[in-house]
Amino acid sequence: MTQARNGTRIVVTGMGAVTPVGIGVKAAWEAVCAGRNGIHRIQGFDPEPYGSQMAGEVLDFEPTDYVDRKQVSRTARFTQFALAATQEAMDQSGLPIDDSNRDLVGVIVGSGIGGLKVTEEATHTLAERGPRRLSPFTVPMILADIAAGEVAMRFGASGPNFALVSACATGAHAIGEAAEIIRRGDAVACIAGGSEASITPLAVGAFSSMRALSQRNDDPEHASRPFDAGRDGFVVAEACAILILEDYEHAQRRSAPILAEVAGYGASADAYHLTAPEPTGRGARRAMVRALEKAGAGPDEVDYVNAHGTSTPMNDAAETSAIKQVLGERAHRIPVSSTKSMTGHALGAAGAMESVFSVMAIVDGRVPPTINYRDPDPECDLDYVPEGARLVRPRLVLNNSFGFGGHNACLAFRALEPGS
């Protein structure tokens, strides 16, 4: 196995997830492999006046299972998600954090929008009741970095701690940058991922106004249809996913469960348009190529691509073009799937949630399907796994994430060979 350039290898030793298709990694993974859909008519508020009226909501989340009852009103939903997912990931990893190592455990948890619901509610309070009625917890609940801060306080991790914000690439960038922090020696382990809870009137209304969302309101379960000729926009979702990353030798010394290696990470910018991807996929291609280079791998080693696959006309075509540029002749023989067909698009949490699914593909030997792929688009002509989960046993997986502003990230996950 090719090692990182400085000899440091980064591995995943634990994962946690809160998703529209299930709470907990096992529940979410089984759901996407079964092709179960987590998209439905919005229940958090009356969506009738909105152009898009559906979302991937987390319906069965009980914050008091993870946050002290007194603290629930003082923490935003995206922070509650992060605490829940981190607890699951830490339980699996068994990573000890105490006085002997706390300064070497980092927390890099991003959010694309942060506590937007708190912002909306505070704005109403200000307008209707005046400034003296604003909660003193308003500012910390709004901030996108507060989930990283809360996680650090809960688990006692006092190493590098911050939030990344790169729209829909946030979760992948957080994981990639956490790996780089470990690689350069500033930490031996990092809690990394993304969290988003932005199914609010403002977010849904604003995304609808820019015509980014599907308006297939009469058929929510079939609204998210990545790569299909009938795709008409993404479906907004909420979620959180957390990975525990460690220096390989550190994980070995404590006999930690090793799920996969973070073998490579690439980042780039389209430098093209505020919201639209560069049509040829050149920025996405650079991120994918860089991830493979840092993994010491060639395109012939890629066994599966977990696509960004948003179900928007421009993104899916540009990503397909990028994949073909990177994989060449093998592109049509490699399974490529978008789990957003089931979860919807969780914005800043998407790249982290899809990293969990990428690692699980390695662990479980299956790749999840792209559901709702019915009418092929000539511009999107790859193997999108429409028939259901497939036994593949991938050794090297690429996970793509792209965001408004032209932000691109690609993570390469690799199976550890026996005895490595």
250 is an active site residue:
no
Q: Would you give the DSSP letter of residue 134?
A: S
User: Is the per-residue pLDDT at 7 higher than 80?
Assistant: no
Pick from 6-15, 21-30, 210-219, 333-342: least confident:
6-15
pLDDT digits over 176-186, tens only?
Answer: 999 999 999 99
pLDDT digits over 289-313, tens only?
Answer: 999 999 999 999 999 999 999 999 9
| pLDDT confidence bin for 123, thresholds 50/70/90 | very high
Name the helix (H) or strand (E) containing 190.
Answer: strand 189-196
| pLDDT confidence bin for 4, thresholds 50/70/90 | very low
**Was domain 265-414 assigned CATH 3.40.47.10?**
yes
Question: In terms of DSSP bridges, do strands 366-367 and 390-391 run parallel, antiparallel, or are they unpaired?
Answer: antiparallel
C-alpha torsion angle, residues 16, 18, 19, 24 (rounded to 10): 60
173 is an active site residue:
no
Given the residues 40, 173, 250, 345, the one annotated as active site: 345
User: Is the per-residue pLDDT at 154 higher than 50?
Assistant: yes
pLDDT digits over 37-87, tens only?
Answer: 999 999 999 999 999 999 999 999 999 999 999 999 999 999 999 999 999
Measured distance CA(173)–CA(266) in Å, rounded: 9
Given the residues 190, 308, 407, 410, the one annotated as active site: 308
Mean pLDDT of 161-186: 97
User: Is the per-residue pLDDT at 5 higher than 50?
Assistant: no
Q: What are the C-alpha distances in Å from 144 to residues 76, 191, 317, 420?
A: 10, 16, 31, 38
CB 37 within 8 A of CB 371: yes
pLDDT digits over 82-97, tens only?
Answer: 999 999 999 999 999 9
Question: How much is the pLDDT for 419?
Answer: 56
Q: What is the mean pLDDT of the chain?
A: 96
| Neighbouring C-beta atoms of residue 96, cutoff 10 Å | 12
Question: How much is the pLDDT for 417?
Answer: 75
Question: How much is the pLDDT for 6?
Answer: 59
Burial zone of 387 (CB within 10 Å; 0-12 exposed, 13-18 middle, 19+ buried)? exposed
pLDDT digits over 257-279, tens only?
Answer: 999 999 999 999 999 999 999 99
pLDDT digits over 377-386, tens only?
Answer: 999 999 999 9
| Contacts for 291 with CB less than 8 Å, ≥ 6 apart | 264, 265, 266, 398, 410, 411, 412
User: Is the per-residue pLDDT at 3 higher than 60?
Assistant: no
Q: Which of 258, 314, 304, 251 is nearest to 281 (CA)?
A: 314
380 is an active site residue:
no
Region(s) of the chain under CATH 3.40.47.10? 10-253, 265-414
Encoding tokens for residue 250? 């550190």
CATH architecture of 10-253: 3-Layer(aba) Sandwich (3.40)
